[in-house]
Structure 1
Amino acid sequence: MRVVLADDHSLFRDGIASLLEQAGYEVVAQAEDGQMALDAIRLHKPDLVLLDVVMTGMDGVETLQHIKAEWPQIKVVMLTVSDADEHLFASIRSGANGYILKGVKANEFLEMLAGLERGEAAISRKTAARLISGFQALTRQKETRNKLSGRELETLRLMGHGLSNRAIAEQMFVSENTIKYHIRNILHKLEVQNRTEAVALALREGLIEQK
């Protein structure tokens, strides 16, 4: 399998390249940023790209998106120190075939890469569990959001900012009684007892943002 390796730390690149070559992979090019990786891919047409998430210039996720748009058949695995959910989910949504943390043991790393050739995703069980949990949370968020009308969501957002019923009514150009009606509906639909519980649930499910 022909590999392009992109990471802005040369010492790490050299170590991974050596490990891959010992395992029978052919490292056809190394790159220190996203643009160099794209140039190398265009020249060498590899089977696999190992891509860091955080790089100077074009970051890994943006580079991944370019790769999948131009060469969808190339497998791309993110190899990174970042275990942030935002990087993980952005990578998977953008078409990554795997997401491996740099702290992984060498034999586990090579086994995950071997799994790519069997049609498996190159991710650890822990990362797979995080993905499942994350997508379940997104499903719950969508279901919860669909329960509420647009005006109820706006009322809930302003509740999260700590505004009183009167202040919410003024911002939404409606009567205070209308806001009380919206709040009763919100509590009923979210199956909570009071404003505090409603706001806590909305924050937890990502319906509103912490001010």
Structure 2
Amino acid sequence: MGAATKKIQVGIVDDHSLLRKALAKLIGSFETYAVLFEGDNGKDIKTKITQNIIPDIVILDVNMPDMDGYETVRWLHKNYPQVKVLALSMFSDENTIIRMLRLGAKGYILKNIEPEELKLALDSIMKKDFYLSEYISGKIISGLHKDLGNPEDPIVLSDKEKEFLRLVCSELSYKDIADKMFISPRTVDNYRNTLFEKLKVRTRVGLVMFAIKNGLVDI
């Protein structure tokens, strides 16, 4: 790598000092990346970024005191949308993943991933604008890294299916979605199962991913 080539700048925000230092050391060993700053919580990153210390990527812990990952990614997406957020968590539950992606995170990884996957995640976010942990994508999504739909065989959704997808991206339960759409829970189940088949996904997170990637919801 030439001396004139600018390294990709990374901010690390996690309230666990030991993990944060280990991440910084690991990222510093990647040829094309450099750690720009570390922070304990969202307030730290907010202070640094408003002082014009702006990274390309922020690795952001979801659960932190003072200003957690949800509040931080919302603030970043609104004020500095060019900063790509890679969410970091010990949890792989659908609600946490959906909420972080819905608020603007470009990727989601677990704290127990191997060093090689962290590098893959950073590369993928920079090149493809998205990444989910291999464990998560294998567990909950089918065909994440291939385009959903082929220009020669476009996926056609009805207005009701689009409305259902938009509501799936909220924190409403399926029962609440049925009430909101004035339909029975059985009809909601039919929408969900039809879309699972049509979009080649297996879970609610897969539906959310399709909706976000295809501009059916605002983030």
Same fold at TM > 0.5 = yes
Match of 1:36 among 31, 44, 51: 44
Aligned to 1:166: none
1:91 maps onto 2:97 in alignment: no
Deviation at 1:138, TM superposition (A): 3.2
Match of 1:130 among 140, 148, 154: 140
Q: Which whole-Å CA distance do the structure 1 matches of 2:188 and 2:105 have between them? A: 35
1:15 maps onto 2:10 in alignment: no
Q: Which whole-Å CA distance do the structure 2 matches of 1:91 and 1:105 have between them? A: 22
Deviation at 1:54, TM superposition (A): 0.2
Higher helix share: 1
Q: Which whole-Å CA distance do the structure 1 matches of 2:80 and 2:126 have between them? A: 17
Q: Which whole-Å CA distance do the structure 1 matches of 2:79 and 2:89 have between them? A: 23
Structure 1 residues 190 and 120, CA, compared in 2 at 3 Å: closer, same or farther?
closer
**Stretches of structure 2 lacking an aligned partner (at least 5 in a row):** 1-7, 145-164, 190-203, 205-219
Q: Which whole-Å CA distance do the structure 1 matches of 2:186 and 2:114 have between them? A: 50
Q: Which whole-Å CA distance do the structure 2 matches of 1:21 and 1:147 have between them? A: 49
Q: Which whole-Å CA distance do the structure 1 matches of 2:11 and 2:120 have between them? A: 18
Q: Which whole-Å CA distance do the structure 1 matches of 2:118 and 2:74 have between them? A: 23
What amino acid sits opposite 2:112 in the alignment? G
Q: Which whole-Å CA distance do the structure 2 matches of 1:118 and 1:20 have between them? A: 17
Residues 4 and 49, structure 1, Cα contact 8 Å, conserved in 2: yes
Structure 1 residues 114 and 138, CA, compared in 2 at 3 Å: closer, same or farther?
same
Structure 1 residues 131 and 37, CA, compared in 2 at 3 Å: closer, same or farther?
farther
Aligned pairs (5 A) from 1:2-151? 2-24=9-31, 25-43=33-51, 44-128=53-137, 130=140, 138=168, 141=174, 145=178, 149=182
What amino acid sits opposite 1:110 in the alignment? K
Residues 178 and 185, structure 2, Cα contact 8 Å, conserved in 1: no
CA RMSD, 1 decimal? 3.3
Greater RCO (CA < 8 Å, at least 6 residues apart): 2
Residues 178 and 188, structure 2, Cα contact 8 Å, conserved in 1: no
Deviation at 1:147, TM superposition (A): 9.9
Q: Which whole-Å CA distance do the structure 1 matches of 2:61 and 2:129 have between them? A: 20
- Partner SS, residue 67 of structure 2: coil
What amino acid sits opposite 2:11 in the alignment? V
Residue-pair matches, total: 155
Percent of residue pairs bearing the same amino acid type: 28
Residues 33 and 55, structure 1, Cα contact 8 Å, conserved in 2: yes
Residues 65 and 95, structure 1, Cα contact 8 Å, conserved in 2: yes
Residues 13 and 38, structure 2, Cα contact 8 Å, conserved in 1: yes
Listed one character per residue, the Cα deviations across residues 106-155 of structure 1 (whole Å, up to 9, x for unaligned) are: 0111111111221241213442352679x79939949x727974xxx7xx
- Partner SS, residue 40 of structure 1: helix
**Stretches of structure 1 lacking an aligned partner (at least 5 in a row):** 154-185, 192-204, 206-211
Q: Which whole-Å CA distance do the structure 1 matches of 2:15 and 2:186 have between them? A: 52
Deviation at 1:52, TM superposition (A): 0.1
